[in-house]
């Protein structure tokens, strides 16, 4: 009997292991070549305010390099750095430290001969990446450079960029998103730079599906924290959805829609609950990341990019008796001030029921079709498709809080344009 139980248990584990081999065009929590932290915020006014932590984990015994890019809320690349991971390694990063110029100190075997900076475990590989000499370990950033990073992520003039990079909301909170890619060399290139991507992983970025991670919003002053897994974006050089020019890929806008990045895209339609009352007295926020499909660079302060604000194909708000409410939507760019565009930037936190997104019910669920006619002819397979990611956060005014990803209703590999109550597109 014991042998039978053991056999069944082993078979179950083998079944779970098989299930971990995810499918391209299905965003799930499996090791990936790219990680996305879809939204971060750091209160620059005090250490007891909100901050964001995230981890980068190596699922393999092989030592790897990861390239981290910090983007503004309008998708301007603000800074980047490299992280070396021994086999099965993990690096936890507090974005408040980055804002203060303190970057994670890691080093491959060539820069760390005493194995003190990035020590390896008994089952872990530790090798030398010669390209990291002079780049790892990272020294603290000069004070003026860190100040420029903070300015860029709060919508002010950033001297190192020569312009502005984000929205100036005026609350002294740094906002943006972060991407992490596997790379084969220490590089200070951004995803849009020549040579960063090459078809089949032949550029600096590789197709190693070995990264996994999570993130947390922590606010000591308000006594709450929320967490979720990072968005795991797999790479494949053989799947037609991620290797044929004209297909929608995650970094498509940075590779001229040639699919050279080989990364699967995210979803375009979502469903999520909202609760504004009861025990959740703090209400519901939506954290929404979007793809403008523009390789955005720093711009003249006081003049926002031409693609801003972004609208959507449709939003339907249901109460708990399935009664729908259809707010007006912006379906053609540029949106006017009278259009409903509650998620105009590349990444944002929006209060459900707040001034930017009013709802007629206290309890219910929301259907979001975040596709948008931006006027772009790309990607060729579906120019109206626009990948996005939605996370829901519910707060009980400092007592407790929860955060979870919205339900994905499709994939930008084959975007749906059907909104409840409307004729399918």
The better pLDDT of the pair 373, 1 is held by: 373
| Upstream peptide bond of 128 is cis (omega within 30 degrees of 0) | no
Q: Residue 281: which pLDDT band, with cuts at 50, 70 and 90?
A: confident
pLDDT at 402: 87
User: Once rounded to an integer, what is the mean pLDDT over residues 65-80?
Assistant: 98
pLDDT at 10: 36
What is the separation of C-alpha 240 from the centre of its chain, rounded to a whole number of angstroms?
Answer: 24
pLDDT above 90: residue 1? no
Q: Where are the domains of the chain?
A: 34-414
| Upstream peptide bond of 158 is cis (omega within 30 degrees of 0) | no
pLDDT above 80: residue 8? no
Let me know the angle formed at the C-alpha of 76 by 193 and 104, rounded to the nearest 5 degrees.
80
Q: Residue 259: which pLDDT band, with cuts at 50, 70 and 90?
A: very high
User: Once rounded to an integer, what is the mean pLDDT over residues 226-245?
Assistant: 97
User: Once rounded to an integer, what is the mean pLDDT over residues 170-180?
Assistant: 98
> pLDDT tens digits for 147-171?
999 999 999 999 999 999 999 999 9
Q: How far is Cα 230 from Cα 241, in angstroms, rounded to an integer?
A: 22
> pLDDT tens digits for 397-413?
767 788 899 999 999 99
Least confident of 4-8, 171-175, 344-348: 4-8
Q: Among residues 3, 21, 24, which one has the least CA distance to residue 243?
A: 24
pLDDT above 60: residue 200? yes
pLDDT at 332: 63
User: Once rounded to an integer, what is the mean pLDDT over residues 370-388?
Assistant: 96
Q: How far is Cα 339 from Cα 335, in angstroms, rounded to an integer?
A: 6
Strands 77-85 and 64-72: antiparallel
92 sits in which H/E element: strand 90-94
Q: What percent of the chain has pLDDT over 90?
A: 84
User: Once rounded to an integer, what is the mean pLDDT over residues 293-308?
Assistant: 97
225 sits in which H/E element: strand 224-229
Tell me the residue length of the chain: 425
What is the separation of C-alpha 137 from the centre of its chain, rounded to a whole number of angstroms?
Answer: 25
Q: Residue 329: which pLDDT band, with cuts at 50, 70 and 90?
A: low
How much is the mean pLDDT over the chain?
Answer: 92
Q: How far is Cα 52 from Cα 21, in angstroms, rounded to an integer?
A: 29
pLDDT at 301: 98
User: Once rounded to an integer, what is the mean pLDDT over residues 271-292?
Assistant: 92
pLDDT above 80: residue 376? yes
Q: What percent of the chain has pLDDT over 70?
A: 91
Torsion, Cα 253 383 330 347, to 10 degrees, reads -20
pLDDT above 50: residue 9? no
pLDDT at 21: 58
User: Once rounded to an integer, what is the mean pLDDT over residues 291-299?
Assistant: 98
User: Once rounded to an integer, what is the mean pLDDT over residues 215-237?
Assistant: 92
Q: What pTM was estimated for this model as a whole?
A: 0.93
Adjacent-strand bridge partners of 176: 40, 72
pLDDT at 423: 53
């Amino acid at each position: 009997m014991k042998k039978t139980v053991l056999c069944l248990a082993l078979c179950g584990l083998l079944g779970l292991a098989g299930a971990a081999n995810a499918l391209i065009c299905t965003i799930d929590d499996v090791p990936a070549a790219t990680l996305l932290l879809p939204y971060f915020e750091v209160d620059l006014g005090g250490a007891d305010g909100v901050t964001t932590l995230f981890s980068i984990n190596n699922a393999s015994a092989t030592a790897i390099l990861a390239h981290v890019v910090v983007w503004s809320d309008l998708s301007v690349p603000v800074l980047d750095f490299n992280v070396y991971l021994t086999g099965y390694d993990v690096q936890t990063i507090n974005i408040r430290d980055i804002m203060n110029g303190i970057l994670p100190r890691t080093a491959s075997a060539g820069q760390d001969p005493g194995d003190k900076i990035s020590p390896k475990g008994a089952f872990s590989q530790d090798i030398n990446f010669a390209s990291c000499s002079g780049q790892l370990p990272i020294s603290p950033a000069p004070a003026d450079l860190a100040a420029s990073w903070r300015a860029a992520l709060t919508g002010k003039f950033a001297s190192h960029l020569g312009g502005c990079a984000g929205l100036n909301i005026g609350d002294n909170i740094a906002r943006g998103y972060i991407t992490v890619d596997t790379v084969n060399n220490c590089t200070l290139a951004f995803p849009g730079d020549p040579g960063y991507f090459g078809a089949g992983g032949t550029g600096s970025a590789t197709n190693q599906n070995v990264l996994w991670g999570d993130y947390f919003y922590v606010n000591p002053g308000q006594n709450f924290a929320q967490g979720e897994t990072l968005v795991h974006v797999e790479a494949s050089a053989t799947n037609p959805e991620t290797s044929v020019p004209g297909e929608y890929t995650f970094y498509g806008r940075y590779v001229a829609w040639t699919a050279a990045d080989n990364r699967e895209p995210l979803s375009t339609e979502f469903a999520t609950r909202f609760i504004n009352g009861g025990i959740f007295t703090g209400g519901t926020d939506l954290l929404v990341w979007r793809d403008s499909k523009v390789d955005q660079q720093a711009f003249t302060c006081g003049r926002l990019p031409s693609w801003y604000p972004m609208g959507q194909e449709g939003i339907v708000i249901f109460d708990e008796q399935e009664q729908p409410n259809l707010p007006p939507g912006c379906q053609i760019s540029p949106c006017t001030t009278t259009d409903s565009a509650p998620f105009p930037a590349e990444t944002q936190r929006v209060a459900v029921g707040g001034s930017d997104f009013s709802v007629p019910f206290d309890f219910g669920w929301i259907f979001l079709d975040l596709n948008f006619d931006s006027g772009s002819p790309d990607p060729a397979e579906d120019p109206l498709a626009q990948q996005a990611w939605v996370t829901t956060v519910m707060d009980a005014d400092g007592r407790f809080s929860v955060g979870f990803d919205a339900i994905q209703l499709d994939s930008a590999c084959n975007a749906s344009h059907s909104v409840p109550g409307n004729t399918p597109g």
